[in-house]
Structures are given as structure tokens and as C-alpha cells.
Amino acid sequence: MTADRVPVRDDLADVAPYGAPQLDVAVRLNTNETPEPPPLGYLAEVGRRIQGLELNRYPDRPATALREALAGRLGTTVDRMWAANGSNEILQQLLQAYGGPGRRALTVRPGYSMYPELCRTSLTPIAEVDLDAGFLLTPERAAEAVAEHDPDVILVPSPNNPAGTPVGHDALRVLHDSSRALLVVDEAYIEFAGPHHSAVGLLEELPRLVLVRTLSKAFRLAGLRLGYLVGPTWVVDDLQKVRLPYHLDAMKQVAGVVAVEQEEAFLEHRRRIAEERDRVATALRALREGDGGAGPVGGADGDLEVYPSVANFLLVRSSVPDLFGRLLEHGVLVRDFSTKPGLEGCVRVTIGTAEENDAFLAALERVLAAEQ
Ligand SMILES: *Cc1c(COP(=O)(O)O)cnc(C)c1O
């Protein structure tokens, strides 16, 4: 008797494929992209340059021109620079190289929801340390968690996703110096937060520190799938042992080089996003306080909380049941975190165009009004 299918790995049997819903709604504020397209002329320039590619040949395996361009941008050298198909692939490669059975990863809670997924597929046990009530990591807690779990890899998003808070350099130093781990600081949103929040200045001081970044967020190229790492040369050497040969295709390497050349034009929107973020946060706080004597909005508790964010999204907490679904009824897609421990009642809203943000605020106002 032969079976007509092969059972998937036991630990994957009950797993749902990861990913935010891709729904066809008017206002999509759920995956933290930049609402504006790449600068005018970018695709034309990429198109011009890919004409010269020999696509019958495999691409440059170490992606040297792209890594050199990225290294130049960060003022470092190509041997400290790595690139892959999105920072998610870099995180996966890091866990393949430094995690695995018999090793341990440590991350923060709340944190980026891909870390547990990547740990599962790489068979890396994962432990979590809770952020404090303001979604910050205290050096004390960092030290306790390292002492308790003795991790091999530490994954820290800074700014935090979904909270939007940066991690202090003091906490990063403690994570590094009290452990023997590779300290991975995931700076997916750092271009929004500003250079003073970046751990880039700690690279010289902390020999087991790597920074992981992406072109998916502030660089407006989520569709390109390109991320990069800067860190010690031995990490770059080790990652070559787990990467697939020719993992970065020739067209992407060109598209990445052109993006780095046009960096200024690509990042020029950040001020608008920051202004919109602060405008939306202020409007949300005004909603909480009630509009002009109409009484508190959102029930007797006046319960709408918006957390301070240095990124291009806001975490919002309310006691409205199924806020995610109620906003969706009004054509606004946000990210639902309400079932995550510590994030009860929370949704995360990406800062979009002014019109999209207004649509979100109007939808929220209607939902809250219907609750009264
Ligand atoms: C969006 C995001 C990424 C980006 O992943 P890519 O694979 O580069 O698109 C990485 N880390 C965090 C914390 C993110 O929010």
C-alpha cells in the first residue's frame, strides 16, 4: 500500500502560512510601506541599465557592485556588508548560521512576528523578554533575560515593530556585554527614526553586533525584496556558507545600485511621513479627549491610547471589540494585534498619504461614535 501524499514535518502540521492579509480595500495601512512610489525616473534608469545584462549567464555571485554601493553609503567596506532578498532572508540566514538545534535565540515581546517563524523553520528554540509598560527595554531586564536564557543569537527590532519605540544604547550594550551572543539589531525603520537612534555607532565598540536593514520601508522598494547587513567580516564570511548560490538576481543587483545612487531622492519623503505621523497621533489623542464637549469618545473610559512612535506607524489601543474588523467595514485595513499577549485591543496603523490617514481617522471616529 503506497501513500498518496507525504505528511509535512510534524512541527509544521498545524501552522498557517505567515503574512498580513492582502485585501483589495481602498485604504491599506497594514504593512508599513511608504505610500509614495519610488522617485520619478528611477524605473527608467533601471530599465536603461538592465539592457546591458547578460541574462543567459548567472549573476555576480557575491553581488560585489551592490555591496560596494551599500558600503559606500554607510562609510564601511564591502567585506563588512551583506545583502539578500529582503531583510527577512538575512534574518533567516543568520539563524541558519548561528541558530539551530541545541542553540537558543532571545528576542523582545512585543516584537517582530517573523522572528518566531524564522526560529521555528530553523529549529531554533526562542525565548522572549517583555518590554516595560512603555514598550522600552530596561538594561536591568536585558541583563536578567541574558542570565536566564544564555542565548546564542539575540534579535532586537529598533525601532520596535509593532510599538514604534527605539531600543536604548545602554540596553544594547548590556545585551552584548553580558552575553556571548550575536546581537542582531533590526533597523527596518531607522531612516524614519533618525541617525541618533541607530546602533551604527556601536559597531566598533561591540564586536558581536550586526545591523540589519531593508529597502522595503523608507526606501520605498518593498516590491524589490532587498535587504542588507553591516557587521564584522566573520559574519559576512559565515553567511556565505548558508546562502544559496546566486541568491541575488542580476536585475535586482542593478536595481539596488541605482537606488543607492538615488538615495537622496528616495528618502526625501521622510519629513512628510513624520509630520503626518505626529498629526495622526495628535488627532487620535483629541479623539480620546472628546470633541468639544460632546463627552469622551469611545465609551465611559474614554479609552483610546496611542503610543509614542519614531517609525512610520502608530500602535493604538482601545476597548472597542474587534476594532480591526470594524475599521475594515469602513474600507480601512490596519494590522490586528489584539490577540497577542500584552497587546490586547491593539491595532497598528501605517502612516499613509494625508488622504489615507484622514480616511483612517474618519473611520475610527465613526466606529467610536457607534460604540457610545
Ligand atoms: C518590515 C520589517 C522588515 C522587512 O522585511 P523585508 O524582508 O526587508 O521586507 C524587517 N524587520 C522588521 C522589524 C520589519 O518590520
Nearest CA to ligand 1 atom 15: 161
Q: What is the pLDDT of residue 211?
A: 98
pLDDT of residue 301: 47
Instruction: Check if 92 has its Cβ closer than 6 Å to any atom of ligand 1.
Output: no
| pLDDT score of 21 | 84
CA 320–ligand 1 middle distance (angstroms): 29
Distance 77 CA to ligand 1 centre (A): 24
Residue 113 CA to ligand 1 center (angstroms) comes to: 10
214 C-alpha to ligand 1 centroid (Å) = 7
Sketch out the chain's domains with CATH numbers. 20-36+269-371 (3.90.1150.10), 42-266 (3.40.640.10)
The predicted model scores a pTM of: 0.95
The full 3-state SS of the chain, as one line of letters, equals CCCCCCCCCHHHCCCCCCCCCCCCCCEECCCCCCCCCCCCCHHHHHHHHHCCCCCCCCCCCCCHHHHHHHHHHHCCCHHHEEEECHHHHHHHHHHHHHCCCCCCEEEEECCCCHHHHHHHHCCCCEEEEECCCCCCCCHHHHHHHHHHHCCCEEEEECCCCCCCCCCCHHHHHHHHHCCCCEEEEECCCHHHHCHHHCCHHHCCCCCCEEEEEECCCCCCCCCCCCEEEECCHHHHHHHCCCCCCCCCCHHHHHHHHHHHHCHHHHHCCHHHHHHHHHHHHHHHHHHHHCCCCCCCCCCCCCCEEECCCCCCEEEEEECCCCHHHHHHHCCEECEECCCCCCCCCEEEEECCCHHHHHHHHHHHHHHHHHHC
Choose one of 31, 158, 160, 214 to mutate for the ligand 1 pocket test, by most ligand atoms within 8 angstroms of C-beta.
Answer: 214
Q: Is 93 in the pocket of ligand 1 (CB under 6 A)?
A: no
C-beta of 350 in contact with ligand 1 (< 6 A): no
Q: Is 216 in the pocket of ligand 1 (CB under 6 A)?
A: yes
Cα 109–Cα 189–Cα 260 angle in degrees, nearest 5: 145
Q: Is 165 in the pocket of ligand 1 (CB under 6 A)?
A: no
Q: Measured in angstroms, how far is the CA atom of residue 305 from the centroid of ligand 1?
A: 25
Cα of 216 vs centre of ligand 1, distance in Å, is 7
Per-residue pLDDT of the chain (372 residues; tens, 9 = 90+): 789 999 999 999 999 998 888 889 999 999 999 999 999 999 999 999 999 999 999 999 999 999 999 999 999 999 999 999 999 999 999 999 999 999 999 999 999 999 999 999 999 999 999 999 999 999 999 999 999 999 999 999 999 999 999 999 999 999 999 999 999 999 999 999 999 999 999 999 999 999 999 999 999 999 999 999 999 999 999 999 999 999 999 999 999 999 999 999 999 999 999 999 999 999 999 988 765 444 444 444 458 999 999 999 999 999 999 999 999 999 999 999 999 999 999 999 999 999 999 999 999 999 999 987
Ligand 1 midpoint to CA 52 (Å): 31
Ligand 1 atom closest to 217 (CA): 1
Interacting residues of 221 by C-beta distance below 8 A, sequence separation 6+: 38, 215, 255, 259, 266
Mutation choice for ligand 1 from 30, 93, 217, 247, CB with most ligand atoms inside 8 A: 217
Return the ligand 1 atom nearest residue 214 CA.
8
Q: How far is the CA of 309 from the centre of ligand 1 (A)?
A: 17
Residue 202: burial class (beta carbons within 10 Å; 0-12, 13-18, 19+): middle
Which pLDDT belongs to residue 303? 81
CB of 34 within 6 A of ligand 1: the answer is: no
